[in-house]
Every structure is written in C-alpha cells, then in structure tokens.
Amino acid sequence: MNKFLSSVHKIEGYKWLLIIVFFMLLIYRLGNLAYWGDEIATIDVASKPLSQLLRHLVEIDIHPPIYFLIIHFWIIPFGQSEFALRFPSIIFSILTFILVFFYLKKSKLGIASLLLFMSSPFIVMYSRMARYYSLLMFLSVLSIISLLEFINRPERKWKLLYCISNILLLYTSYPGIILFIVENVYYLIRKKNKKIISLSTWIFMQSIVILFYLPWIYVLLFSHIGGNLTFQPLDFFLKLLYPLCSYSIGETILPWEIFITLPTFVMFYFLFFKGVLRHPKYSLTFFILPLIIGATVLSTVFVQILFPFSSSRLIFLAPIAYTIVAVGIKETKRGNILLVLLIISNLYGLFNYYTVRHFHNQAYIVPWREIVETVEEEASDNSIVMTAEFPFQFYARTKLDTYLDVDSLNSLIGNTEVDEVWFIIRYRGTYDIVEEYENRMQQILSEGYKMDREFGFMKQEAIIKRLKEKIIGVRCSEDYIKAVKFVKTDK
C-alpha cells in the first residue's frame, strides 16, 4: 500500500488532469439518457432478494453473477436512478484507466494510449451503461497485467492477483473464458523463449482458477443453450467488421460519413498493425494479437450459442488495442500528427454522443421518459398499453396499465370494458414484432375501435430508412418509435 501511495504522489500534474477530465466525461449528464432494455434487465435481476437473485441466474439467466451481486448491494443505499445505477460502471472504467497508466508509465506509451482511451466514444458510451462491460474491462486488464508481471517477476503477490482476477473475471462474463485460454497459449509461447515460472507452478495456478469456476461450469452444463452454428460469409464479415469499427470509430458516427470514418479507420489500423510488428520490443502486442483475432472471430461464430458477443462484450480488448496503436504512433515518423487526427475524430464522436445524434445503434438513445409522459397525458383512466418494450413498462409502471404480451389483448378486451388501447411499436432491425403488432392493430378495428391518434418519436434519416427497407425487405416507418391510440367507436 505504501508503494502504491508513493507512486500516486509521483504522478505529474497533467496526468492527474487526464484522470479528472476522463472522470468528468463519464459523469457528464450521466442520468440524461433513459434506460435501455438490458439496463432494465440489470435492475430486474439485481433488485431481487439475494436467494431469488441467485436462483434466477442459475435457472433462467445465462449471465454469471458477480456484477449483479455488486449492483444488488449497491442499490440498497443508492437507489435505482439512472445516475446511481450507472455510477459503478464509471468506477470500474476509472480504475481501468489508472491501471493502464501505472503499467505504461515507464514505457513512454502512456500518454498516447490514455488519450485514445479517454477520448474514445466506444469506451465512454459503454462505460456509462448499467451493465457489466466496464467491470469486464477492468478485470481483464488486471488479469493481463498480473500475468505479464509475474512472468517477468515471479513474485507471490502477482500470482495471487492473477488467480483472483481470473476467478472474478470468469464469474463476470463469458468472454473471460477466451482471455483465460489465450493467456495459457501466451505462457506456453513465452516458456519456449524465456526461463519463467515452472510448468508445474503454472498448472497449479490454472487448476485453482478452474476449481473455483467448477460450480458455474456445472450450472452451464445443465442450462439450456440455444442457437444454431451456421456460417454465412456476408453475415460473418459484417459481424467481424462491427467490433473492428467500434474500436476505431465508435458507434456514434454513421458509417457512411466516409470523410470521417474511412480516414479514421485507415489511420487506426495502420498504426495498430505497425505496433503489432514491433512485438520483439513490446511483448504486450505479441500477446494481444491472438486474443483480438480469436475473440473477434469467435464472437461472429458463437453469437447465437453460448457467448452473447458484440462490441460491448469485446470491450476488454479496447485498452490493449489502444496501447498497440500507441506503439505504432511511437514507431511512426510524425505519429503525433496521426494521434491528433484520431483524437479529433473521437471528439466528433463524443459530440454526437452527448447531443444524442448519429448513433449506429439506436437502442441506447430511445427517449422512453418522453414517450411515457406523452401517453400518460393523452390516455384516459380506462386504457391499456400493449408493447414489447421493457423500458416503457419500467417508466410507466406507476400510472399506466402496460402489458408486454400482445396475445393477452383479446382476453383483456373481452373481460373488461376498455375505452382506449395503445400500441407502442419500435421499428428494430427485424420486422417480426412490428408485423405482429400491425396485424393486431388491424384486428382491433373490427372489434369496435378506431384509430384516433398517432405519435412519432425519433424520426429516421432517409438513408437509414432506405437501408433498412433493403435489408428487411419491407417498408419501414418514418419514425423509429410510434405510439398509436385506438378508442371505442361508441364512446
């Protein structure tokens, strides 16, 4: 502890400033955006009594328990507001930032990698969500650093930290399994080239981690694992491209803004691969390349089976990727100019994020509070709302009768006198739910109701609308969300 405090005192003022600026970026209007679906799932699981929480995770939910246990005890004193529930994610991101700083401070890579990390729209956006993403990132970086440290300096504290961080990592998210496997591959590669800890010691450490993970392996073996293992070249390419774009550009700049996205993508991966080629000098890059390739490829194959991979689940690769880019910057003539250009692109992405513009994935920016308030103002006392959206139900739970199962509509109308029926329709990437709701809306017209009003939210850009129509093969709405009101004709 004394050594750590001594190191903290030696941090130059401008590096303290970076930490403070990053913290301010993360907490700025933290509660401004409404919860999205998975954040509601966090509340639903974490707010259960402890015994029910564990039973839910074991019997129903496929997610490991560590993050939900943390949030369970967090919301007891701090509540369920957007700011309070997202704040633990902020803490883990700040800790990751500090870890990267302390590990790289002697390599002269720290400033470049920290600037890329703290300005990344990808990091900022996912670090501000009430999900396990930033905890996954923190534990992954802690595991990698402890591995690299005890390989170079086989001290007991690093071995212990490695085992603890990996146990917690595996109980946080399934991508930790990939990291655990790649760390073993890395050890075997280094074992051939350098005299490091003995194979027996390594096997003992891995056995400890696996032993502690056996209870969850048992849970997985007896859980239902659905999905199909199929390979479609175009689908594979798009899924592979998505996380690669997220690392370099983020998800708050539209892909067809090519005057920004294309130069940023090219610069980022030019510097990345240049950094990788310097692996004899920077062992970290040699370690991370199979991890990045393996995790990204596996994310495209196993997305529908066990590992719910996406860019958010691969966030643990981003700090290391930025470090490799920092290596490329250091090894490139006028690399600082490229660094400045990358940061400018990041700042543009952050501007889009904070002003709620230009998202690839509109799942994170739906104004659910506004939508609920609109329906509350317009709805009568004798009305019901049909929707498939959990966030709407969460925000409307105190004033509106909301039902997530549209199949219950017939029995509700048949057993009660309902003056108004509202449909909340969200135009996603697939058309199945929309088509089901539109069919129900047509059906209700023949049951003594007429369409009274229609409210649109989040108007889609023309280019997005055309792309969706081509991909889905059906027409798309002008608005991303619609609230449609039906009233009884004899009212």
- Mean pLDDT of all residues in 451-472: 80
254-306 confidence digits (pLDDT tens): 888 899 999 999 999 999 888 877 755 555 555 565 566 666 666 555 554 44
What local confidence, expressed as pLDDT, does residue 45 receive?
Answer: 93
CA dihedral 281, 284, 290, 291 (to 10 degrees): -170
Backbone torsions φ then ψ of 425, nearest 5 degrees: -115, 130
Decide if 419 contacts 401 (C-beta within 8 A): no
313-340 confidence digits (pLDDT tens): 788 888 888 988 988 898 888 888 999 9
Q: Does the pLDDT value for residue 47 go beyond 70?
A: yes
Residues in the chain: 491
CA dihedral 280, 281, 287, 290 (to 10 degrees): -60
Cβ neighbors of 284 (< 8 A, separation 6 or more) are 144, 148, 320, 323, 324
- Mean pLDDT of all residues in 105-127: 86
What local confidence, expressed as pLDDT, does residue 321 receive?
Answer: 86
pTM for the model stands at 0.88
- Mean pLDDT of all residues in 24-53: 93
Of the pLDDT bands very low, low, confident and very high (cuts 50, 70, 90), residue 212 is: very high
How do 383-387 and 420-426 pair as beta strands?
parallel
Of the pLDDT bands very low, low, confident and very high (cuts 50, 70, 90), residue 213 is: very high
Of the pLDDT bands very low, low, confident and very high (cuts 50, 70, 90), residue 7 is: very low
Cβ neighbors of 312 (< 8 A, separation 6 or more) are 126, 129, 131, 133
- Mean pLDDT of all residues in 96-101: 89
Q: What percent of the chain has pLDDT over 70?
A: 83
> How far is Cα 93 from Cα 99, in angstroms, rounded to an integer?
10
Q: Does the pLDDT value for residue 5 go beyond 50?
A: no
- Which of 30-34, 326-330, 360-364, 461-465 tops mean pLDDT? 30-34
178-191 confidence digits (pLDDT tens): 888 888 888 887 77
